[in-house]
Amino acid sequence: MTYRAIPKFAVDFVADQEGVELTAYQDVVGIWTIGAGHIEGVKKGDKCTRAQALKWLAADMVIAQRKLYGVLKPEIIDCLTEQQWAALLSFVFNLGAKKDWTIWKLLNDGKFDQAADQLSRFINAGGKKVQGLVNRRADEFKLWHSGDPNSHAVAVPSAVTREVGMTPPTPAAEKPLAQSKTLWAGGVVAAGGVVQGAQQVQALVAPQAANHEWLQKMAGFVAVVIVLAGIAIIVFKLLDQRAKVHQ
């Protein structure tokens, strides 16, 4: 599997949120932490250099990246803006990614705005509201909405990302619209939502359709919508596959 690249500004964002501590400390729930939020194998009295802290940060960002692929459909990840992707990387870096969280279901259903609203729920640690988490979720929410939804432009990396050693990717030439993988993947999600909604309407109308002529007409219309949306899904999937071939 080819994983989506980690934006350079996402590394900076996490480093800014975590801070870079060269001596081990206990976080709000007592977990020994060092560097930029690194916790694996850390114990009291540990020390590190800034270079080591940034190496850990790079490795931990990759772990967050892999966790997101464990809970989200690849085509959904492809549909995210760079800012949305960076916000989710920060979120998972901080909290992990339990599969039963509602935020993943909403994202996989293509309900991006509703998913972003879920961020504000994750503000407790040890059963208590933590102001630091309130601030971080607010910053992630702002980051989520900060970019043009149609733009995947990567910000110029700062000194932090250069130290980590992540080389900025060469900007790709814009693809013709018909070769846009993100466009066709988004079409699949949208058409799937139309089918789901139409089926729900059909289930409500069907029991009473026999008694009302206008309900019969509505049921017929809804059936046509379901068929057309189903055809659209097939077409979008074919176009998506074709777009991938041209990448």
Catalytic residues: 18
Q: Are 59 and 41 in contact (CB under 8 A)?
A: no
Residues 143, 174, 235, CA angle at the centre, nearest 5°? Answer: 90
Calculate the CA dihedral of residues 56, 51, 81, 170 and round it to 10 degrees: -120
Q: CA-CA distance, 148 to 154, in Å (whole number)?
A: 12
Q: For residue 199, which of 218, 223, 180 has the smallest C-alpha distance?
A: 223
Q: For residue 35, which of 44, 45, 26, 48 has the smallest C-alpha distance?
A: 48
Angstrom CA distances, 101 to 5, 57, 67, 71, 209, stand at: 24, 25, 13, 9, 38
DSSP run (H or E) holding 34? strand 32-35
Q: CA-CA distance, 112 to 72, in Å (whole number)?
A: 12
Residue 212: HSE in the Cβ half-sphere, 13 Å Cα cutoff: 10
Helix (H, G, I), strand (E, B) or coil at 22: strand
**Strand partners of residue 214:** none
Q: Are 240 and 191 in contact (CB under 8 A)?
A: no
